[in-house]
């Protein structure tokens, strides 16, 4: 009995007893799903930029996807009125309330990654009034408790607060995990979910994820300026980044501090 107790203490100290699944919202019996990286190949002549194991970038590339051809659904269970803006849908829950919209979806993904790495103390967001809401203050640290915390964040935070939390970065210095954002009521935000590079020319391209209003499935955006239908955007965006449902200024690119 004593040996079992000592073993439990050792496992706890090593973190083994509290190992978390990388995508904690999925049921344990869920069948393997294609990842974002498996679903969307780089354009001809491009290859994915290196991403360290365990990084936010690597985690985003591993996001599980819904079956090919899946519709974007809203929190009500009805299809989004536009089905012409996406190329793929992330397999992640929306919730049953009109909460997980654009900035909320981005905060959800960032927090899910931190949660999967047991970095609970780093899961914190400012609300619109500037109050810091920390997951470590929640009563429950299981995933159900985490989801309740995120719904609270969604209710009190948004593009206005998130824009002020993030740090400006130039498009030429873009990295996976950066955010294009326009804070406001309404505002909008999209997440840089992947990047590729043409080693011969040095050109870089990126993928974008978004949710929108009303709360809806997180999805990979099409590039409305793409002549060949590819969803990849060039980092050479000029003064504006044109997406299917919003136009961002190049000065709207932000990074997590």
Q: For residue 21, what pLDDT is reported? A: 95
Cα 99 to Cα 3, 65, 168: the distances in Å are 48, 21, 26
Q: For residue 166, what pLDDT is reported? A: 98
123-152 per-position pLDDT tens digit: 999 999 999 999 999 999 999 999 999 999
Mean pLDDT over each residue of the chain, to the nearest integer: 92
Residue 217 structure tokens: 């499935």
CA–CA distance, 164 with 151 (Å, rounded to integer): 20
Q: For residue 194, what pLDDT is reported? A: 98
Residue 10 structure tokens: 């050792």
Give the pLDDT band (50/70/90) at residue 18.
low
CA–CA distance, 188 with 231 (Å, rounded to integer): 19
Which percentage of the chain shows pLDDT scores above 90?
88
> 237 with 172: CB under 8 angstroms?
no
Give the pLDDT band (50/70/90) at residue 96.
very high
Three-state helix/strand/coil letters over the chain: CHHHHHHHHHHHHHCHHHCCCCCCCCCCCCCCCCEHHHHCCCCCCCEECCCCCCCHHHHHHCCEECCCCCCCEECCCCECCCCCCEEEEECCCCCCCCCCCHHHHHHHHHHHHHHHCCCHHHCEEECCCCCEEEHHHCCCCCHHHHHHHHHHHHHHCCHHHHHHHCEECCHHHCCCCCEEEECCCCCEEEEEEEEEECCCCCCEEEEEEECCCCCECCEEECCCCCCCCCCCEECCCCCEEEECCEEEEHHHEEECC
23-35 per-position pLDDT tens digit: 999 988 777 889 9
**Which range has the top average pLDDT, 111-115, 137-141, 184-188, 234-238?**
111-115
Q: Is the pLDDT of residue 236 over 50?
A: yes
What is the reported pTM? 0.92
Q: Is the pLDDT of residue 2 over 70?
A: no
> Pairing state of beta strands 188-197 and 204-210?
antiparallel
Q: Is the pLDDT of residue 219 over 50?
A: yes
Q: Is the pLDDT of residue 78 over 80?
A: yes
Q: For residue 228, what pLDDT is reported? A: 77
> 176 with 191: CB under 8 angstroms?
no
Q: What is the mean pLDDT of residues 189-194?
A: 98
Q: What is the mean pLDDT of residues 207-234?
A: 94
């Amino acid at each position: 009995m004593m040996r079992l107790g000592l073993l439990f203490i050792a496992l706890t100290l090593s973190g083994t007893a509290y190992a978390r699944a990388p995508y904690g919202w999925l049921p344990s019996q869920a069948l393997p799903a294609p990842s974002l990286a498996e679903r969307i190949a780089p354009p001809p002549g491009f290859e994915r930029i290196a991403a360290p194991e365990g990084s936010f970038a690597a985690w985003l590339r591993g996001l599980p996807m819904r079956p090919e051809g899946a519709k974007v659904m809203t929190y009500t269970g009805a299809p989004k009125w536009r089905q012409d803006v996406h190329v793929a849908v992330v397999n992640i829950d929306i919730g049953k309330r009109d909460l997980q919209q654009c900035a909320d979806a981005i905060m959800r993904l960032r927090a899910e990654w931190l949660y999967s790495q047991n970095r609970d103390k780093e899961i914190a967001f400012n609300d619109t009034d500037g109050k810091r809401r920390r997951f470590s203050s929640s009563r429950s640290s299981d995933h159900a408790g985490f989801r309740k915390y995120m719904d609270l964040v969604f209710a009190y935070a948004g593009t206005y607060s998130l824009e002020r939390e993030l740090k400006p970065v130039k498009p030429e210095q873009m990295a996976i995990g950066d955010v294009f954002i326009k804070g406001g009521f309404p505002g909008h935000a999209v997440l840089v979910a992947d990047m590729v590079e043409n080693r011969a020319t040095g050109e870089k391209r990126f993928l974008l994820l978004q949710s929108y209003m009303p709360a809806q499935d997180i999805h990979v955006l099409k590039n409305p300026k793409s002549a060949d239908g590819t969803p990849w955007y060039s980092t050479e965006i000029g003064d504006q980044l044109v997406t299917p449902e919003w136009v961002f200024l190049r000065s709207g690119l932000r990074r997590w501090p």
